[in-house]
Structure 1
Amino acid sequence: MQPAIDDFHRLIMEDVVAARAAVEQLDAAFIARGILFAGKAMPAHLRPHFFSREQRRQLETAAASVLHAALAAEKGLFGGNREALFEALRIQDAERQLLRTDPGYDNPVVWTRLDAFPTPDGIFFLEFNHDAPAGVGYSAAMTEIYLDLPIVRRFAEQYVLESDEPRPALLAALLTTYRDFGGQEHPNIGIVDWTDVRTSADQIILRDYFIREGYHAVIADPREVELRDGRLYAGDTRLDIVYRRVVTSELLTRLDETRDFTTAYEIRAACFINSFRCRVSENKAFFAFLTDPSQLSFLSDEARATLLKHLPWTRIVAEQHTTLPNGQRVDLCEHVACHRAAFVLKPADAYGGTNVYVGSETDDATWEQALRRAVRDDALWVVQQRVATPVETFPIHHADGTFTFEPMKYNANPFYLGGQIAGAVVRTSQSAVINVSAGGGSIPTFTVAPRQSA
Structure 2
Amino acid sequence: MDAQSITEEFIRLVQSNPQKYYRDFLKIDQEAKKENALYKDKPIPFLYQPMFFTPEDIDAFHQIGAMLYTIAEKVTQAFLTMPSFRQKFHYPDFLEELILVDPGYEVSIPISRYDLFYHSKDRFQFIEVNTDGTSGMNEDNIFSRLLLDSLALQELQKDYRIDYFELMEKWVDESLQTYQSFKWKRTDRPNIAIVDFMEAGITAEFEEIQKIYVKRGYHAFLAEARELDYKDGVLTYKGTPIHMIYRRIVTGDLVRNIKEVTPLIEAYKDGAVCMIGSFRTQLMHNKMIFKILHDEDSLSIFTKEEKNFIQNHVPFTRSFKEDPVAYEKVLHHKDDYILKPVDSYASQGVNTGRDYDFAQWKAIVDDCYGKDFLYQPFIDPPTRKFVCFDENGQVDVIDFKLNVGVTNYNEKFAGLYTRISTHNIIFGQSTYYSIPNMLVQAKEHKS
**What's the TM-score once normalised by structure 1's chain length?**
0.89
Which of 273, 280, 284 aligns to 1:270? It is: 273
Matches of 2:199 and 2:156, distance apart in 1: 39
Match of 2:379 among 372, 380, 387: 387
* 1:142-181 equivalences in 2 (<5 Å): 142-181=143-182
What is the RMSD of the two structures over their aligned residues, measured on CA atoms?
2.5
Stretch deviating more after TM superposition (238-247 or 134-143): 134-143
The whole-number CA distance in structure 1 between the counterparts of 2:443 and 2:284 is 42
What is the deviation of 1:94? 4.5
For residue 26 of structure 1, report the CA deviation from its aligned partner.
2.4
Question: Would the aligned equivalents of 2:19 and 2:394 in 1 still touch at CA under 8 Å?
Answer: no
Q: Give 1:230 shift.
A: 1.8
CA distances 1:87-115 after superposition (whole Å, capped 9, x unpaired):
33222344334334332234331110111
Q: Residues of 1 paired with 2:419 and 2:271: CA distance?
A: 36
User: 1:25: Cα distance to partner?
Assistant: 2.6
Which residue of the partner structure matches residue 125 of structure 1?
126
Can you list the C-alpha shifts for 1:98-154, whole angstroms capped at 9, x where unaligned?
Answer: 334332234331110111111377111110101111122222333222222232222
Q: 1:382 to 1:72 in 2, by over 3 A?
A: same
Residue 103 of structure 2 aligns with which residue?
A: 103
Deviates more, 1:350-359 or 1:421-430: 350-359
Deviation per CA, 1:383-427: give whole Å up to 9, x if none.
112222111111223233333111111111011111311111111
Alignment match of 1:351 (pick from 345, 348, 360): 345
Q: Secondary structure at the match of 2:125?
A: strand
In structure 2, C-alpha distance between the alignment counterparts of 1:11 and 1:193, rounded to whole Å = 44
Task: Decide whether aligned partners of structure 1 residues 436 and 146 sit closer, same or farther in structure 2, where only a CA change above 3 A counts.
Answer: farther
Specify the alignment match of 1:402 in structure 2.
Answer: 394
Equivalent in the alignment of 2:234: 231
Which residue in 2 is equivalent to 1:215?
A: 218
The aligned length equals 441
Which residue is 2:74 aligned to?
Answer: 72
* Alignment pair present for 1:448 and 2:440: yes
Deviations 1:296-345 (A, max 9, x none): 11212222222222211111124459xxxxxxxxx433333333222211
* Corresponding residue of 1:416: 408
Change (3 A) 1:375 1:181: same
> Is contact 1:30–1:36 with CA below 8 Å preserved after alignment?
no
Q: Is the 8 A contact 1:354 1:438 kept in 2?
A: no
Cross-structure match for 2:255? 252
Distance between the aligned counterparts of 1:338 and 1:216, measured in 2? 57
After the TM superposition, which of the residue ranges 125-134 and 236-245 deviates more from structure 2?
236-245
Residue-by-residue CA offset, 1:264-301 (whole Å, 9 max, x unaligned): 22222211111122112211111112123442112122
Matched, 1:364 2:358: yes
Amino acid at match of 1:165: E
One-letter code of the match for 2:367?
Answer: R
Amino acid at match of 1:391: T
* Cα distance in structure 1, aligned partners of 2:52 and 2:308: 29
2:42 to 34, 40, 51: 40
1:339-359 Cα deviation digits (max 9, x unpaired): 322221111111111121112
Using the alignment, how far apart are the partners of 1:437 and 1:188 within structure 2? 38
1:200 Cα offset (Å)? 1.3
**Quick one: which amino acid aligns to residue 177 of structure 2?**
T
Please, which moves more after superposition, 282-291 or 7-16? 7-16
Which runs of 5 or more residues in structure 1 are unaligned?
322-330
CA contact (8 A) 2:346 2:427 kept: yes
Q: Structure 2-normalised TM-score? A: 0.90
Separation of aligned partners in 1, 2:143 and 2:234: 36
Indicate if the aligned counterparts of 1:395 and 1:403 stay in contact, CA closer than 8 A: yes
| Structure 2 unmatched runs, 5+ | none
Are the equivalent residues in 1 in contact too, given 2:114–2:405 (CA < 8 A)?
A: yes
For 2:4 and 2:431, locate their aligned partners in 1 and report how far apart those are by CA, in whole Å.
26
SS of 1:26's equivalent in the other structure is helix
- What percentage of residue pairs aligned between the two structures are identical? 25
Aligned to 1:115: 115
Contact 1:283 1:348 in 2 (8 A): yes
CA contact (8 A) 1:119 1:389 kept: no
Please state if 1:302 is matched with 2:296.
Answer: no
> Does 2:9 match 1:7?
yes
Match of 1:281 in 2: 284
User: Secondary structure at the residue paired with 2:436?
Assistant: strand
The answer to whether structure 1 residue 204 and structure 2 residue 198 are counterparts is: no
Q: Which residue matches 1:339?
A: 333
